[in-house]
Structure 1
């Protein structure tokens, strides 16, 4: 049973409702529509997935920040009411949001002048932009609504307790515990740390043709997700997809994981986030990955991205999900007990 939390808190990772899970034979053999895309179509048409801030829009964002700052409110208090954006900005972002939520599922918005702004200003404007896409969620056991993707020197092999975003290791294709994930680049790595995205529906179609046995195996409700120690009182240390204790992966499952990764790599679109660029990706139908990276030596700043996890609840046109919190405003995310939301200005 899901843990009862105040509605203003993130609902957290929950196990699916068994009655809402579908057997493989009920899955479509081929998916069509705007969520299905091929990387080669976007490589030749950057105008389909890249946008730029104009000087006029930047000025409007700065004026909106000045008004918010004058209220004395803090970063965790940012929402559409406390930090309203100008109508021109809202109209553009709302159009982009529709394409992210129900279309291709990703976008790159270039040119936020973060090198000219203090981190607080960049963070506040970024959070305000995020409110157009969804409702902010806690991303870890510390309640971080403003996340920081930065190498803290953690050991990526300690997979039972270390989350890869706090290392410089490669991130394999995955989705996060949200509907939309956003990244704002404050500092680039010296080498690597670049992004890949792939249409999950194109990936599904390809597996149905090339490896239907893997597609079938991936739909079974017997996969498990480790909570990496971010566990509320009374919770199991993993998200359980079937009855019984957590087993090791079978030989067939290990092969399925490898086939999924290799196929996703082959079908993916590669992109590089420059300083000031924002990437939004729909976790509902796009998988994303990151290459390993090597950082600058001190005193140069290390690679640093601000991250948002956003819910697009059903009340805001979001997709229905087979989880008990599908109708919640702050569905998904990571919530440990009643930890309050925080917005630190650096990784911790």
Structure 2
């Protein structure tokens, strides 16, 4: 039998994310990183709704033949406004990590972007922009325009132990079978349905693959309703704080190598919504600890829940293909996403390349009220190792 898990094994709750360090972080705000929940704020299965209603629940059939409902083509005026703002920002000499709404002004687009933010957080949870001229602008100007858009949706959080606030989804030759060490976005392997460690994720397509690498998304609330009707035992298993998530070595001093939490949360306060945190790669990679008897191995109920969750997402998914210049923004609170495996073009053609943003929306600024100590922190979530400074490289490292 595995030994009882203690708070010592889980490690400290925070890495002083609320301290201000202007010398390291341009705005003085540090990403909080991967935390354990406040266990006394977790909801039991009996308190969860039997059915979720509202705009966060959607059927792929409602969208797959109606792309106008979830795509927005940048107009000539919008492209010109973004171009001018990017040129002014570049001329200022400011580092990409220092970009803000004030330094990337979009007066004509700002109202639309605010409505988009609300739609992502509280509506269907996704939108696909089309037509950013990335081939004309090149990586630097495209990154400025893309991150500039992101400032209207949330706060940049670090995506890995290197402090990347501009990430790059690209096959760099990492071994996808080494899931305890390798982040799958650095390989060409399939990604199963998951949610990232942030409130909103953005993907800008710089270059497409030869084949594969296509995107699927699903409303986790539609998935939840389906499971409640068909296999409520799966929902109950997913709602229990018995799931261990790997930090994959991206650990601050004093932190444990993993967190322990449920997959399904209920927001704190009255009328709390159901929030989903899931990534099977971060669950299955912990066999090095379960094999050693440090944490329990996945039970039969957990293995079933993981399998049924993936199968249900696949059944209910909306499929989309990102073309060069497309930007996909998704809520991680109530949308799960995946991608197919892919094969790159042979050199000298470029490899598949997506620029990625992880954005935080604290509860005091319209974000979800989560049972975590950092729920009100501007840069909640993400991956932060000690005081690693934010970085925004223009290509994969």
TM-score (norm 2): 0.86
User: Does residue 361 of structure 2 align to residue 312 of structure 1?
Assistant: yes
Structure 2 alignment gaps of length 5 or more: 1-12, 21-28, 263-292
Whether 2:275 is the aligned partner of 1:226: answer no
Which deviations, in whole Å up to 9, do the C-alpha atoms of 1:169-222 show, x marking residues without a partner?
000000010000000000000000011110010000000011111111110100
Report the equivalent of 2:352: 303
- In the aligned structure 1, how far is the partner of 2:372 from the partner of 2:183? 23
Alignment of 1:1-348 (within 5 A): 1-5=13-17, 6-7=19-20, 8-85=29-106, 87-241=107-261, 245-348=294-397
Q: 2:234–2:305: 8 Å Cα contact kept in structure 1?
A: yes
Maintained 8 Å contact 1:196/1:289: yes
- Aligned equivalents of 1:49, 1:97: Cα separation in 2: 14
CA distance in 1, matches of 2:366, 2:323: 31
Select between 95-104 and 272-281 the one with higher mean Cα deviation: 95-104
Q: By how many angstroms is 1:82 displaced?
A: 2.0
SS in 2 for 1:214: helix
* Deviations 1:225-281, CA, capped at 9 Å, x for gaps: 001111111111111239x94221112211111100000000010000000000000
Q: Distance in 2 between matches of 1:116 and 1:252?
A: 52
C-alpha distance after superposition, 1:60-83 (max 9, x if no partner): 111111211221111001011222
Task: Specify the SS of the correspondent of 2:108.
Answer: helix
The DSSP-based 3-state class of the residue aligned with 1:263 is: helix
Distance 2:377 2:85 in 1: 29
- The CA RMSD over aligned residues, in Å, is 1.1
CA distance in 1, matches of 2:389, 2:345: 34
TM-score, scaled to structure 1: 0.98
- Out of 87-96 and 208-217, give the one that drifted further: 87-96
Q: Is the 8 Å Cα contact of residues 240 and 246 (structure 1) preserved in structure 2? A: no
Structure 1 distance, partners of 2:390, 2:121, is 25
Deviation (angstroms), 1:163: 0.6
Q: Is the 8 A contact 1:51 1:110 kept in 2?
A: yes
8 Å CA contact 1:24–1:220 kept in 2: the answer is yes
Q: Secondary structure at the match of 1:177?
A: coil
Q: Which runs of 5+ in 1 are unaligned?
A: none
Tell me how far apart the structure 2 counterparts of residues 345 and 206 of structure 1 sit (CA, whole Å).
Answer: 41
Deviation of 1:118 after TM superposition, in Å, equals 1.9
Asked if 2 retains the 8 angstrom alpha-carbon contact of 1:195 and 1:272, the reply is yes
